[in-house]
Amino acid sequence: MSGTQSTQDTQDPQAVPRLAIRDLDIHFATDGGDVHAVDTMDVEVAPGEILAIVGESGSGKSVTARSILGLLPETAEATGAVLVSGTDVVSLSGAQLRALRGEDVSMIFQEPSSAMNPVFPIWWQIGEGLRAHRPGMTRKEIRAEAVAALEKVGIPDPIERIDRYPHEFSGGQKQRIMIAMALALGAELIVADEPTTALDVTVQAEILELLRDVRDRFGTSIIVITHNMGVVADLADSVAVMYHGKVIERAGAQELFAHPREDYTKKLLAAVPHLGRNSAWTALDSEQQQQIDEAHPVVVAKDLVIEYPGRLGRPPFRAVKGVDFTIRAGQVYGLVGESGSGKTTIGRAMAGLERTTGGSLQVLGHEMNGMKEKSFKPLRRRIGFVFQDPATSFNPHLTIEQCIAEPLIVHEPQQGPAEHTKQVRELLEAVELPGSYAGRYPHELSGGQRQRISLARALVLGPELLIADEPTSALDVSVQATVLELFRELQSRLGFAALFISHDLAVVDTLAHRIGVLFRGELVEDGHGPDVLQRPSHDYTRKLIASLPVPDPVEQAERREAFIREWGRGAAI
């Protein structure tokens, strides 16, 4: 059964639903008052069905997902029923919930790096659920089950790798291990909360293929919480659209994409970026293109090498291998490539956060190879940085206003608190957040909201160079469209140069005048956006483009078959 088929055609109408949510209401008690997160929700998921729940940040998607496993915090009050294979989760005790989790329903959390324990090897973490549900298992049996679980999700050399730790795996591999944990006890329902967020398109393709395979082989029902409409088109049988805590539309994937009923759904689909439809380079006239191509360089890399020293007898690891590129004033340079290709390493080196070990890297006229912090420090105010993971880049003890104002306090102490507050409020409005959020703390915001705060902080000093590392990876499509438009408007008005790192080729095409493609530390392609994305010369670039899911179930099914014909099933792995 493919994601392009209607669920009514593929499932037995008499089958007992794997999940039935009835009149679910969830309230949170907060310092700012009562928050109504989910409002009288009704949803069913049939055996073997893949349901995608979509909606903007704060719409109640993740709260709904956590309610299915009874993982709501103590501040939450839930009424209604959440029936997992006929058992009402809302009324269960702690001991009953622990028995349900793993065997009946499992969860793939949004950020595998933070969901795994960094001090235990993989086999121990897979075995944690096995020990809880099958206390008589021996260490040898648990290790054998861990090997089998890793084999199911395609991790190579599982016998050797079960003894490794989370940091020794790539982002895509950690996501696969999370899926292995969800499958370890044979759960018939899996809840996947943003399972492909921040993954490059080739790794995303392998995770989607794996989830389809899990459904087909084991008859597992899957709920996918996502903001990526391409993922929805590629994977889902049916779609539920959430808005302000309510399910406002539910339909088969083909029907929803072809004939959306609600205005919000139409807006959501219209906001999805399409490759080649709104290219930043072609939007410029010939005079503007010439001005950018002839502008003075802001960043110049020549034969750039960045190497990490080996430890415990291991040889050094060369993350960046002789890369050449130039970023000019007023130019947005998009950098794409799979996990581990060196994108973030280059961005951090430009900001003075990584040491270069060979070649030359000049940033704002300053040579970074052998740079001294004392000489580079005055340039820091001219560089803005949007970090990949906003949850860990903020001080949890500071309010949002204090987080955004911190660069102003450091670099413009002559301004008073009143002026700082005014600038912070203006930036909050610019990234579509109410001024009242200034008094909140980072943990009180959703992932997408924190990402917008991160962008506001990077822009607060009016930088000449902005380094944006996956700045829209956690944003739903409607907010992403707003932030991208804001980015374009600010970049055009202020004229700052930018390095834009992303795994989303359509987003890069929307923003970047020039695009570089990294593969295992080497720059394999570099050119204007349309030249790289519409007329790629390197096989790796062609594979990246073919791996990108498009927000149309019919077209995406054709693209998937074409990809398999050219590169073979599992080629993205």
Q: Do the Cβ atoms of 115 and 109 come closer than 8 Å?
A: yes
* Nearest C-alpha neighbor of 197 from the set 450, 561, 522, 517: 450
Handedness of CA 446, 448, 449, 451 (dihedral sign): positive
pLDDT value of position 367: 94
> What per-residue confidence (pLDDT) applies to 569?
61
CA angle, 485 as apex, 481 and 491 as ends, to 5°?
145
SS3 497: strand
Determine whether 176 is exposed, middle or buried from the number of CB atoms within 10 Å of its CB (0-12, 13-18, 19+). Answer: buried
- Are 203 and 172 in contact, with CB atoms under 8 Å apart? yes
Q: How far apart are CA 2 and CA 561, in angstroms?
A: 11
The pLDDT of residue 510:
92
What is the pTM (predicted TM-score) of this model? 0.78
Taking the CA atoms of residue 139, residue 143, residue 149 and residue 153 in that order, the dihedral angle to the nearest 10 degrees is: 150
Q: What is the pLDDT along the chain (573 residues), one digit of tens a residue?
A: 344 444 444 445 456 799 999 999 999 887 777 888 999 999 999 999 999 999 887 788 889 999 999 998 888 899 999 999 889 999 888 888 888 888 899 998 877 777 889 999 999 999 988 888 888 899 999 999 999 988 888 788 899 899 999 988 877 788 888 888 888 888 899 999 888 876 777 778 888 888 898 899 889 999 999 888 888 999 999 999 999 999 999 999 999 999 999 999 998 898 888 888 889 999 999 999 999 999 999 999 999 999 988 777 778 889 999 999 999 999 999 999 877 788 989 999 999 999 999 999 999 999 999 888 888 888 888 999 988 777 778 899 999 999 999 888 888 888 888 888 988 998 888 777 888 889 999 888 876 688 788 888 998 888 999 999 888 776 777 777 877 887 888 888 888 999 999 878 888 999 999 999 999 899 999 999 999 999 999 999 998 888 888 888 998 888 888 887 877 665 543
Q: How many residues does the chain have?
A: 573
Q: How far apart are CA 87 and CA 97, in angstroms?
A: 10
Calpha distance 67→342 (Å, rounded): 38
Task: Classify domain 286-295+329-353+375-550 by CATH number.
Answer: 3.40.50.300
| Coil vs helix vs strand at 292 | helix
d(CA 11, CA 252): 12
**pLDDT at residue 447 in the model:** 66
Which tokens in the block code for residue 544?
Answer: 């990246």
Tell me, what's the pLDDT at 462?
84
- The 8-class DSSP code of residue 196 comes to T
Residue 436: the pLDDT is: 85
Local structure of 74: helix, strand or coil: coil
Domain extent listing, the chain: 7-16+47-71+92-270, 286-295+329-353+375-550
Residue 562 is predicted with a pLDDT of 84
Q: What is the dihedral of CA 355, 360, 361, 366, to 10 degrees?
A: 100
Containing H/E element for 177? helix 171-183
Domains 7-16+47-71+92-270 and 286-295+329-353+375-550 share a fold: yes
Sign of torsion, CA 334 336 341 345? positive
Phi-psi region of 164 (alpha: psi -120 to 50; beta: other; left: phi over 0): beta
Tell me, what's the pLDDT at 220?
Answer: 93
> Hey, what CATH class is 7-16+47-71+92-270 in?
alpha beta
pLDDT at 69: 92
